[in-house]
Chains A and B, each alone.
Chain A
Amino acid sequence: GAGVSQSPSNKVTEKGKDVELRCDPISGHTALYWYRQRLGQGLEFLIYFQGNSAPDKSGLPSDRFSAERTGESVSTLTIQRTQQEDSAVYLCASSLGLSGQGNQPQHFGDGTRLSIL
């Protein structure tokens, strides 16, 4: 597709359930990022994938959070045993990839709005 696609757009689930969020990056983009945005707050970095390198997981808030990416395509973010504080918009972004110079803009999807009851 032309842009970053995320699904589902909205997810409501009960506390304690596991959820899986999906991100389809722009074709050809080797770098993929996940962010979390709580209501009224800024974006919080979660995890970063670049090609076949080990992902940068430094932003994951707990071991209940994990993410996978197959090659340079789809990524899934999984939250296990969800808690109410996990309620947020989860945004995915992709970029052309590593340049080491910070000159590749990230392009964002519309996000998944997750609500934990």
Chain B
Amino acid sequence: SQELEQSPQSLIVQEGKNLTINCTSSKTLYGLYWYKQKYGEGLIFLMMLQKGGEEKSHEKITAKLDEKKQQSSLHITASQPSHAGIYLCGAVTISNFGNEKLTFGTGTRLTIIP
């Protein structure tokens, strides 16, 4: 089964600073999703990456997919308090029957301090 390792597990960053979160897969990545979760709430879809080398941005968040390294990174520029939360990467696995499932990493808890 596919396993996803996220690093770091937790991160404390001063407001305004940049940061990077990594997600490494034990198997080939066919699709990689990034979600954000706030305590007590569901997951908010951020971005989906499908192709090696693909890079997407939304506001101050940029995600890249390095297919060869089976890795994705999420970069936040000029962090703000609203960025605080748990960031989860999810990898798509597709069975022989075409069933799609997401396997999630254990998450990175981001805290923004003033």
Q: Are B45 and A102 in contact (CB under 8 A)?
A: no
B: contact size bracket: 20 to 34
Q: Are A108 and B43 in contact (CB under 8 A)?
A: yes
Partner of B92, one of A102, A107, A109: A102
Interchain nearest-CB distance for A41 vs B (Å): 6
Contacts of B101 in A (CB 8 A): 33, 45, 48, 56
- B105, CB-defined interface residue at 8 Å: yes
Interface size on A, residues (CB 8 A): 29
The residue of chain B having its C-beta at the shortest distance from the C-beta of A56 within the complex is B99
Q: Report the bound CA distance from A113 to B107 in whole Å.
A: 19
- B114, CB-defined interface residue at 8 Å: no
Contacts of A113 in B (CB 8 A): 40
Tell me which of A48, A93, A102 has the highest count of chain B C-beta atoms within 10 A of its own C-beta: A102
Q: Are A42 and B43 in contact (CB under 8 A)?
A: no
Contacts of B90 in A (CB 8 A): 43, 106
- B50, CB-defined interface residue at 8 Å: yes
What 1/0 flags go to A86-101 for Cβ under 8 Å of B?
0000010100001111
Other than A91-B42, A108-B44, A109-B42, give 17 A-B pairs with Cβ distance below 8 A.
A33-B102, A35-B104, A56-B99, A56-B101, A98-B99, A98-B100, A101-B50, A102-B30, A102-B50, A102-B100, A103-B31, A104-B100, A105-B45, A107-B45, A108-B35, A110-B40, A110-B41
Interface residues of A (CB under 8 A from B): 4, 6, 31, 33, 35, 41-43, 45, 48, 50, 56, 91, 93, 98-111, 113
